[in-house]
Amino acid sequence: MVAGMSINEKFQEAVNKQVVAEHQASLIYSQLSYEMDRLSFLGMRDWFRAQADEERTHAQKFADHLLDREARVDLTDIELPSLKIATPLDAFEAALAHEQKVSAMIRDLARVADETGDIDSRSLINFFLAEQIEEESTVNDIIDWIKVVGNDGSGLLRIDAKLGARTSA
């Protein structure tokens, strides 16, 4: 097959947008890890750092899909929103907002795959649809814990220690 002919242009653009969004997510998580370091919540810092690494692997999975199908990957559109973070709750709410945006994008990607009859991406997209449910659920749990402890410092430090003990995503 001729290079570049195996993938629909509209679908290719949608996957490329997803590569950009996953790199953006990685940068947002890096920024949040810096904010948590600044506030001396070192467990949360490490949690966000691990999350940033995971988002880079997501970006790579989408990029590999394009590259395996002889399509080009273009990162020119990466931007970082400015985040105002004064508390751990701010940080996790920013994380949730971005995950919700990413989930919506992956649903759109699934729709474009259907519209364009792209069967080859199905397992990749299904993996990420399930992944996003997990991501949102995890961040929602953490937000709930933070709300339960409120301004109680020892409660926040316990959550910090728990998040710092994370060994994998």
| Residues that bind Fe ion in the complex, under the rule CB under 5 A | 22, 55, 58
- The verdict on whether residue 136 carries a ligand-binding annotation is no
Of residues 12 and 24, the one with the C-beta less far from Fe ion: 24
Helix (H) or strand (E) holding 142: helix 122-149
CB of 101 to Fe ion, least distance (A): 11
Of residues 22 and 160, the one with the C-beta less far from Fe ion: 22
Q: Is 86 exposed, middle or buried (0-12, 13-18, 19+ CB in 10 A)?
A: exposed
CB of 62 to Fe ion, least distance (A): 9
CB of 55 to Fe ion, least distance (A): 5
- The verdict on whether residue 22 carries a ligand-binding annotation is yes
Pair 68, 7: CB distance under 8 Å: no
- The verdict on whether residue 70 carries a ligand-binding annotation is no
Q: At what angle do helices 122-149 and 153-164 cross, to 10 degrees?
A: 150
For residue 87, what is the DSSP state?
Answer: S
- The verdict on whether residue 58 carries a ligand-binding annotation is yes
Residue ranges at the known binding site for Fe cation: 22, 55, 58, 99, 132
